[in-house]
Amino acid sequence: MKQSLEDFLQAYKDYMKLMKEISDQGTDAYLTIDFNERLRSFTQFMQRASLEGWVLTAPEHFNAVDLRLEIDSIRFSRRFAKDIYFLQSYIKDITLGTAKYK
């Protein structure tokens, strides 16, 4: 579990670094409104999960059953899968030129 948390936190840091680079370069100006809103929502979701995830490293004397967090729930898995599917599909649509721009 600890290694999974560390992997998640590293992936989150890499993701945030990429988002900062995109923003700093101004290339986010080319995103559609729908995609940008969904990406922002996903980023906030990941930020909450990464912050709450620190509780998973609590001392061993805590009862693990009481440490039910969003990062370790079915709700997290569903939201993550749904957002990733949308973002991947939208990127594909943009790449193929089939996305509707607003």
State pLDDT tens for residues 20-72. Answer: 998 899 888 888 888 889 999 988 888 887 775 544 444 455 555 554 444 55
| Whether the predicted pLDDT of 87 surpasses 70 | yes
The pLDDT value given to residue 57: 47
Note if the pTM is more than 0.85.
no
Separation CA 59–CA 67 (nearest Å):
11
Does residue 80 surpass a pLDDT of 60? yes
pLDDT band, residue 17 (cuts 50/70/90):
very high
Three-state secondary structure of the chain: CHHHHHHHHHHHHHHHHHHHHHHHHCHHHHCCHHHHHHHHHHHHHHHHHHHHHHHHHCCCCCCHHHCCCHHHCHHHHHHHHHHHHHHHHHHHHHHHCCCCCC
Of 50, 38, 40, the residue nearest 76 (C-alpha): 50
